[in-house]
Amino acid sequence: MAAILLDPLAAIGRATLGACRTVGDVALFALEAVSHLVRPPFYGRLFWHAFIEVAWFSLPVVALTAVFTGMVLALQSYTGFARFNAQSAIASVVVISLVRELGPVLAALMVAGRIGASFAAEIGTMRVTDQIDALTTLSTNPMKYLVAPRLLAATIALPLLVLVADVLGVMGGWLIGTLKLGFVSAAYLKSTFDFLQTGDVISGLVKAAVFGFIIALMGTWCGYRSKGGAQGVGGATTSAVVASSILILALDYVLTEIFFAQ
């Protein structure tokens, strides 16, 4: 009888301890990686490669996501706002939604799928083929060589991507607004800029930087801790994308509370 009652409690206890251990491990991993960003030697070439991978090669998917999101947002807002004769608010709704929320979150989710998976697979493969041990025997700290440049690159690249996504998203809304919904171009743009505040842009960019850090952190951590061959690398890749996506959405709420709580 006691076992029936205690077994579920033991399982909950084990799961809780496991979760605490994982959080602690990720935190220590992040601290160590960040500490390498301020201690020489610095691997500028690796940072640049990672930056190009995150910023340049993610640009098409982020741009397409932003343009279509802006277009859909304008259309959906119109169908809703037209019922209340509030069509004039569409431009401001599009820009505020994009800059504050959808730009950073959607760009981050797209990058998480692309870059988080790529980092986890690359580092995971290096782990299971002894390449990370080889780095150590070649007097090279793997955290400094593999993790720190990727963390820095993603943290810098994502705000830039989000900036582009914001502009393209607004352009998507403007296209639909002027070509399909009959807005005057100048009026649409004036409405867009009248409602946009510097704080909106900055909050979006700060979110993007945090999301970039999280994507790179989860990608590199899952890859670094992977084991067990191809299956382990596959699992690490999936975990990286799932964990970073969930953390992006959770942190989006937390950051929104911090920036915009009344």
Partner 1 sequence: MSTANTPKIRMRGVKKAFGPKRVLDGVDLDVAAGQGMVILGGSGSGKSVTIKCILGLIEPDEGVIEIDGVDVLKLPRRERESLGDRIGMLFQNGALFDSLPVWENVCFKLLAQNRITRAQARDKAVEVLAQVGLAETVGDLSPSELSGGMQKRVALARAIAAQPDIIFFDEPTTGLDPIMGAVIDGLIVDCVRRLGATAVSITHDMASARRIGETAAMIHKGRIVWTGPAGNLGHSGNAMVDQFANGEREGPIQMELRR
Q: How far apart are CA 125 and CA 227, in angstroms?
A: 9
Q: Tell me: does residue 97 bind partner 1 (CB under 8 A).
A: no
Does the footprint of partner 1 cover residue 130 (CB under 8 A)? Answer: yes
Q: Which of 79, 139, 198, 262 binds partner 1 (CB under 8 A)?
A: 139
**CA-CA distance, 143 to 153, in Å (whole number)?**
14
Residues 6+ apart with CB under 8 A from 129: none
Residues with Cβ within 8 Å of residue 107, at least 6 apart in sequence = 62, 65, 66, 158, 161, 162, 165, 208, 211
Q: What gap in Å lies between CA 168 and CA 69, rounded to an integer?
A: 9
Locate 203 and state its tokens: 């909050």
Nearest to partner 1 of 127, 207 (CB atom)? 127
Give the contact letters, 36-55, x = binds to partner 1 (CB under 8 A), - = no: -----x--------------
Closest to partner 1 by CB, 143 vs 243, is 143
- Residue number with CB closer to partner 1 (102 or 126): 126
Applying CB under 8 A, which part among 95-103, 113-121, 133-141, 229-237 lies near partner 1? 133-141
As a whole number of angstroms, the distance between CA 133 and CA 151 comes to: 21
The least distance separating partner 1 from the CB of residue 103, rounded to whole angstroms, comes to 32
Region of 128-136, 162-170, 182-190, 208-216 interacting with partner 1 (CB under 8 A) = 128-136
Q: Is 140 in the site for partner 1 (CB under 8 A)?
A: yes
Nearer to partner 1, 52 or 250 (CB): 52
- Token reading at 51: 């930056």
Nearer to partner 1, 130 or 194 (CB): 130
What DSSP string runs through 204-248? HHHHHHHHHHHHHHHHHHHHHT--SHHHHHHHHHHHHHHHHHHHH
Q: Does 136 bind partner 1 (CB under 8 A)?
A: yes
Output the CA torsion sign for 122, 49, 53, 37.
positive
Helix (H, G, I), strand (E, B) or coil at 60: helix
Residue closer to partner 1 by CB (options 39, 190) is 39
* 35 forms part of the interface with partner 1 (CB under 8 A): no
- The alpha carbon dihedral of 212, 218, 221, 223 has a sign of negative
Q: Which region, judged by CB under 8 A, interacts with partner 1, from 60-68, 85-93, 140-148, 237-245?
A: 140-148
Q: Which of 141, 167, 206, 251 binds partner 1 (CB under 8 A)?
A: 141
Residue 134 within binding range of partner 1, rule CB under 8 A? yes
Residue 217 CA to residue 96 CA, distance in Å, equals 29
- Which tokens sit at 42? 């610095």
- How many residues belong to the site for partner 1 (CB under 8 A)? 16
**Which positions lie near partner 1, rule CB under 8 A?**
41, 122, 125-126, 129-131, 133-134, 136-141, 145
